[in-house]
Amino acid sequence: MSLEFLIASAIGVLVAGGVYLALRARTFQVVLGLTLLSYAINLFLFASGRLIVDRPPLYAKDVADYADPLPQALVLTAIVITFGMTALTVILSLRSFLESGTDQVDGDAALDEDRIL
């Protein structure tokens, strides 16, 4: 089994889990689903830039003898954006829970079978 297949499978599993959780009826599961989707995007961005071990991220004498710093910079930026997005989503879901008394996404307490007391 090749490394490309392993990374592609990991990205696929993260996307599938993220979509499944993002479509659930509870706010905590939606937050986890969005987080899994962001992890999948980060892994995709990181794997899209050919990774070279023990090479400087600057141009050397030979063009093929450097590591591309752009995917790493994109992943770092995506991590910061994901942190802000997750914090905002958690605050909004907490406010929704405090206002409606349920953690259902649509706010319908009748659909809440195992309500938190």
CB 109 within 8 A of CB 102: yes
Q: What is the pLDDT of residue 116?
A: 52
pLDDT value of residue 109: 60
First vs last C-alpha separation in the chain = 49
Dihedral, CA of residue 84, residue 90, residue 92 and residue 94, to nearest 10? -150
Fold topology of 3-108: Helix Hairpins (1.10.287)
Model confidence at 102, pLDDT cuts 50, 70, 90, reads confident
Q: Where in the chain are the domains?
A: 3-108
Identify whether the C-beta of residue 116 lies closer than 8 Å to the C-beta of residue 98: no
- Give the pLDDT confidence score for residue 45 in this predicted structure: 87
pLDDT, average across residues 57-86: 80
One-letter amino acid of 52: I
Q: How many residues does the chain have?
A: 117
Stated pTM of the model: 0.76
pLDDT of 91 over the 80 cut:
yes
Q: Is 104 helix (H, G, I), strand (E, B) or coil?
A: strand
pLDDT at 117: 47
Mean pLDDT score, 41-48: 88
Which of the pair, 17 or 2, is modelled with greater confidence? Answer: 17
Find how far residue 28's CA is from the centre of its chain: 14
% the chain with pLDDT above 90: 44
CB 27 within 8 A of CB 93: yes
Q: What is the pLDDT of residue 10?
A: 94
